[in-house]
Amino acid sequence: MAQDDLNHGNDTQAKLGQAAGGTIYLIIIQIASRALTFAGNQFVLRYLSPQLLGIAVQLELYSVSVLYFSRESLRVALQRQISREDGSTSTDSKAASSTRARQTQVIVNLSYLAVCLGISLTLVLGWLYQQGQSGNIDIQQSPYFTLSLQTYAIATVIELLSEPCFVVVQERLLYKSRARIETTAAISKCAATCLTAFIASQRQLRPSVLPFAVGQVVYASVLAGGYMAAVLALTSQDGVSILPIIVQRSPEYLLSRFYKPLVSFASTLYAQSVFKQILTQGDALILGFLASLEDQGAFALASNYGGLLARLLFQPCEESSRNSFGMLLSKLNKKGQVDPARLKAAIRQLSDMLHLYSIIAVLSFFFLYTLLPFLVKILVGPGWFTPDIAGILSTYCYYIPFMAYNGILDAFVTSVASPAELRQQSLWMGAFTAAYVGAAYVLLHVLDLGARGLVFGNIFNMLLRIVWSSWFVARFLKRNNGSMDIIRDVLPSPGIFVVGATAAGIMRRNTIEDKQGIAGVLDILVVCATGGSIMQVQEHLFQDLSS
């Protein structure tokens, strides 16, 4: 028994090591794809107006919504299933291999529920969107709009068809393969988008959103082909099929293929996913109803640049942390409590992530507020850059830390919450959604703050969610006899606040175009990044203030 526990502990540590290494690969995916998308957008923006970019945002929202509503709840449910299966032990290698093959087949079968649901949503949401925009002359007269919408629908279905192979890659922790496949798909998407825009310009065709649609089809095709190539050889060795075959003729399985407890759990998560999608894409939905296409395009530009850090760093960290929390906290003892050592490791990881995000928050508040508008002006040029966009970018810097805190706390909640607690969370998310819509209406229409008001509304919404998640974490720790002492390490040292506030004062005192002011701030950042002492930082600060 002791040897089994030791082997199981070593196996858990190995899997946590894989998850930690997976974070690096996921960050590489995000950096590569976002960098390529960033570069491609700089090229395509030369051929687009804010109005066309607004239409492209709506088409992207259509595709993202179909994918999210069809597969997100199942993905989270499957992660919980994987964590529980990893908690089982077996000394018989053949039995262990058979159990793993059955587990893989279970998640492959369930992924086809996402495919079927997604195809239906593609047709329904596509028809609703087209009918909803039938009276919008700007959209209807946009060149190749119908063709672009149909192309986005095809791309969405192709990406959905890759889901059975994706869940196998996720279950086997093949992060390196995933990084390679998704990076290749991002490169292909960027090349196809830019090439289509260039060819259309050379043939003197009217500017349209068709290049984005073509790029999306290429991305989905490369993604599906890459995942299939990576998984086919692996599944054939284990006797697993990527088709939904019979697993077990038992009352626990629907049609002998779909595991009922997982289907039930995914159904519980589905209502929550609806609220989360409304909250995540709420700004785009509200802009779609309350703002013009030009305003939507301008806000899209601001959010793409302002949210770059969230997509590059926060998203992969949250995804990897969700896997780690699931591995550590899914196995309970006879009293229904988590093992103290596992709980301490999970809380330490949560504390470390929150501490990192707190440092980023200081940088965002004090540095990005002034630097970001200046950097974006260099990238997009004066033709696109307006005072309104500068104001949105500066305000967005206040939003970034709230996104970070909410993401990592939500990853913890979804990893440990029971179905009843998830239903309770869904009800609270509904209340927060209503409060968010009300706040957005007041900020946009009553106070007439425009897109900046929408950012403030998002901050209010995220703050409500952070408070609820923090309450849940505290209650979870109390129920499992955990300690909150580690959480006290979340805030950064006072010296970081002093450095940030003083450097921000220098930047405000000197205009952002003042090269001397920028150089001084960069000197401070370099000293901090290289581990310089507080005396060295103060020396740079006094030099800048005296100049």
Residue in this structure with the two tokens 């999970």, named with its chain if needed? 346
Strand 258-259 relative to strand 253-254: parallel, antiparallel, unpaired?
antiparallel
- Of the candidates 161, 434, 136, 143, the residue with the CA atom closest to the CA atom of residue 279: 434
At residue 338, φ and ψ (nearest 5 deg) are -80, 145
> Which pLDDT does position 147 carry in this prediction?
93
- Measure the CA–CA gap between 171 and 220, rounded to whole angstroms: 21
**Res 226: pLDDT:** 93
Q: What is the pLDDT of residue 508?
A: 58
Answer for the pair 426, 339: CB distance below 8 angstroms, yes or no: no
Q: Exposed, middle or buried, 212 (CB in 10 Å: 0-12/13-18/19+)?
A: buried
Q: Give the model confidence (pLDDT) of 77-112 as tens digits.
A: 776 655 455 444 445 566 666 777 788 888 888 889
Contacts of 307 (CB under 8 A, 6+ apart): 396, 400, 403
CA 338, CA 4: separation in Å to the nearest integer? Answer: 19
Question: What pLDDT is stored for residue 383 in this prediction?
Answer: 61
Give buried/exposed letters for 179-200 (b at 16+ CB in 10 A, else e): bbbbbbbbbbbbebbbbbbeeb
* Cα separation, 325 vs 413, whole angstroms: 9
Q: Secondary structure of 204-254 in the HEC alphabet?
A: CCCCCCHHHHHHHHHHHHHHHHHHHHHHHHHHHHHCCCCCCCCCCCCCCEE
pLDDT for 222 equals 96
What integer pLDDT is reported at residue 531 of this predicted model?
Answer: 42
Residue with tokens 């029971």: 418
What pLDDT score was predicted for residue 223? 94
Q: Which residue has the tokens 């825009």?
A: 197
Tokens 């066309």, residue? 52
For the segment 282-303, what is each residue's pLDDT rounded down to a tens digit? 666 776 676 666 667 666 776 7
Grouped pLDDT means (10 residues each) for the chain, 547 residues: 46 51 61 68 71 83 90 76 50 65 83 91 92 78 90 96 89 80 88 89 86 94 93 76 82 81 79 70 67 68 70 74 76 70 83 84 74 70 68 81 88 84 83 84 81 83 91 87 67 68 62 44 44 42 41
The reported pLDDT for the residue numbered 103 is: 81
